[in-house]
A and B are shown apart, each in its own frame.
Chain A
Amino acid sequence: MRVKSTLENYLFVLPAAGIFAIFYIIPFIWVFQLGLYSWDGILPTKIFVGLANFKEIFFEDKIWWGAMRNAGYITLIALTLQNALAFLLAWACDREIRMKNFYRMIFFIPPVLSEVVVGLVWQWILDGNYGLLNGWLANLGLAQWSHNWLSDPATALTTIAIVHSWKGFGWGFLIFLAGLQTIPRELYEAARVDGANAWASFRNITVPLMIPVTVLVAILTILGTMQAFVLIIAMTDGGPAYHTQVPVLRILASMRGSSRFGYACAQGISFGVILMAISFIQYRFSKTARQV
């Protein structure tokens, strides 16, 4: 009886595990062991180099770590600005205000737009010479603030981070809204009857109940943003001079530019391990936070 029940339970995960095993685990093993070889992706012979690739990544590849720092910076901006914006917007739309539906539709447009359009439009806005942003600044009398937003090493990375957050906040918005909508209105009513003001009910009802969702969004944000690259290719291609380089671009460069397939695989593995470590720490941290 117990056995039958357990077998039934396995049935639930069988399709997922099956597809996963075939389409992820097998390629993963192939890639994983390739990290130990030096191979250009074409020749039938591979040279076993053991941990040499990993040694190079961790001790010699300064560009790789620069790229990781850049990705970390963009992710930091995403975690703070993007998610704060998403939360505020979700909170604003959760209240009984007019045009709620309209806003809900509009805010999800950036994620839906293809990177091609986003890249083109923002390049046009941010262009150093003919861009709209500099034009508006000049009209407002703030011409000294105009920059070559995407080419100036001082502003390039932050600009990319902001555009990225703009494109991504729609997801956080959606998930936060779903979360907020499931907090029963009665709790707020009861609090108001008891004399609590808006800030108190926010602090004591909304925040605690939204912690699990916030953690979910944070983990997804970190994973998604650290792996970002399509928008960066469209806007700066990692330039100028590595200032907006990110890890996935480096992996692509190893694969295609220098034809070092084995090295690219090693980079991918290292990247994944680091992401896992970050997520694990976060998950643990959130568990203790919930205990509080």
Chain B
Amino acid sequence: MKTSLYYKTKKVTTNLLIHFFLITVAITCIFPLLWMVSSSLKTQQTIFKDMSLIPRELHFENYYLAWQEGGFGRYFLNSILYTVAVVIGIIIISSLAAYAFSRLKFPGRNLLFYTFMAAMMIPIPGSFVALFVLLNKLHLRNTAFGYILCMINVGLATSIFLLKTFFDKFPRELEDAARIDGCSKFGVWWHVALPLAKPVLAVVVVFNALNVWNEYVLALVIFDNKNLMPLQRALMMFQGEFITRYPLLMAGLTITALPIIIVYLLMQKYIIKGVTSQAVFG
């Protein structure tokens, strides 16, 4: 006969094992971050000689230097603008399309959807050259607008795919009820589908924000004007042709990583909380 002590011990041990597992993985995840921060506080001479996680001397001025020399101010602002614009653009455009693929009927629907899916799978080598020539013809090269449109396209297919999969699983009752109440199709999309999809929308936000934030080559190819460059360019200032200034680079990388982590933390709430208790899946 299993006593309650048995159950209690079992529960405690299971919890301990789970925590042990989680902590081990967490350590491997946080280690590079700690190394990055700790390296950013060392000097070029000591960075590969001093192996300790907490450096002997703390050179906080590296952050100030990195900000100044990289010209972070302008580039940082640019990156924020591009990321916000692209993310908002993708949320609206891809959720509209995903909703249509999931719920609305029109001729060519499946064909169009599969074309989008195919796009996810076929990488275009040398797409930078093609996009350059294209934007040139549209007189959108070296403009923020052109870059934003290109970046919207980059994340479009995957975002549509994610959203459609989740939309497919929603119960139709809520939507039907809204339609009966006289809501237009756009209204249903805005008032019913989007709120229900908050978790996956949050994933889409994070996914695209990360893509735009880390993008560099396309920006370099189509922008001539230095003032339009994103902040990855600032990081390039520390990776010279011959000399890499590691401490400043690490400081720059830390500055770069922070906003994305903040975005993720903000979006986390939605992924976890934003769903009603109805069976959304299955």
| Touch between chains A and B, by CB atoms below 8 Å | yes
Chain A: residues with CB nearer than 8 A to chain B? 6, 8-10, 12-13, 15-17, 19-20, 22-24, 26-28, 30-31, 41, 85, 88-89, 92-93, 95, 97, 101-114, 116-118, 121-122, 124, 166, 170-171, 174-175, 177-179, 181-187, 208-210, 212-213, 216, 219-220, 223, 227, 248, 251-252, 254-255, 261, 264-265, 267-269, 271-273, 275-276, 279
Q: In the bound complex, what is the Cα–Cα distance between A30 and B132 (angstroms)?
A: 13
Chain B: residues with CB nearer than 8 A to chain A? 15, 18-19, 21-22, 25-26, 28-33, 35-36, 92-94, 96-97, 99-101, 104-107, 112, 115-127, 129-131, 134, 149-150, 152-153, 156-158, 160-162, 165, 168-169, 185, 189, 199-200, 202-203, 206-207, 210, 214, 235, 249-250, 253, 256-257, 260-261, 264-265, 268, 271-272, 275, 277-282
Contact B121 A174 (CB under 8 A): no
Q: Smallest distance from the beta carbon of B125 to chain A beta carbons, Å?
A: 4
Contact B281 A182 (CB under 8 A): yes
Residues of chain B lying within 8 A (CB to CB) of residue A170: 29
Q: In the bound complex, what is the Cα–Cα distance between A261 and B165 (angstroms)?
A: 36
Contact B281 A97 (CB under 8 A): no
Q: Smallest distance from the beta carbon of A3 to chain B beta carbons, Å?
A: 11
Residues of chain A lying within 8 A (CB to CB) of residue B31: 121
Residues of chain B lying within 8 A (CB to CB) of residue A23: 131, 134, 149-150, 153
Q: In the bound complex, what is the Cα–Cα distance between A279 and B158 (angstroms)?
A: 13
Residues of chain A lying within 8 A (CB to CB) of residue B92: 15
Q: Smallest distance from the beta carbon of B256 to chain A beta carbons, Å?
A: 7
Contact A265 B214 (CB under 8 A): no
Closest residue of chain A to B135, judged by CB?
A: A23
Q: In the bound complex, what is the Cα–Cα distance between A104 and B261 (angstroms)?
A: 12
Given A103-B22, A105-B268, A279-B121, the answer on whether A16 and B257 have CB atoms closer than 8 Å is: no
Q: Which of B22, B93, B112, B256 is close to A15, meaning CB atoms less than 8 Å apart?
A: B93
Residues of chain A lying within 8 A (CB to CB) of residue B199: 178, 181-182
Closest residue of chain A to B272, judged by CB?
A: A181
Contact B25 A109 (CB under 8 A): no
Q: In the bound complex, what is the Cα–Cα distance between A17 and B126 (angstroms)?
A: 22
Contact B104 A265 (CB under 8 A): no
Q: In the bound complex, what is the Cα–Cα distance between A104 and B82 (angstroms)?
A: 27
Contact B22 A113 (CB under 8 A): no
Contact B210 A112 (CB under 8 A): yes
Q: Smallest distance from the beta carbon of A258 to chain B beta carbons, Å?
A: 13
Contact A89 B25 (CB under 8 A): yes
Residues of chain A lying within 8 A (CB to CB) of residue B185: 8-9, 12
The interface centre, meaning the residue of B116, B257, B281 with most chain A CB atoms within 10 A of its CB, is: B281
The 9 A-B residue pairs with the shortest CB-CB distance, nearest first, are: A272-B122, A27-B130, A12-B100, A16-B97, A23-B153, A275-B121, A121-B32, A9-B106, A178-B199
Residues of chain B lying within 8 A (CB to CB) of residue A209: 281-282
Closest residue of chain A to B273, judged by CB?
A: A181
Residues of chain B lying within 8 A (CB to CB) of residue A41: 126, 129
Residues of chain A lying within 8 A (CB to CB) of residue B124: 24, 27-28, 31, 268
Contact B153 A19 (CB under 8 A): yes
Contact A97 B18 (CB under 8 A): yes
Given A13-B97, A16-B96, the answer on whether A106 and B125 have CB atoms closer than 8 Å is: no
Q: In the bound complex, what is the Cα–Cα distance between A106 and B29 (angstroms)?
A: 6
Q: In the bound complex, what is the Cα–Cα distance between A112 and B33 (angstroms)?
A: 10
Q: Smallest distance from the beta carbon of B209 to chain A beta carbons, Å?
A: 10
Contact B271 A109 (CB under 8 A): no
Contact B104 A92 (CB under 8 A): no
Q: Smallest distance from the beta carbon of B163 to chain A beta carbons, Å?
A: 11
Q: In the bound complex, what is the Cα–Cα distance between A264 and B125 (angstroms)?
A: 7
Contact A272 B121 (CB under 8 A): yes
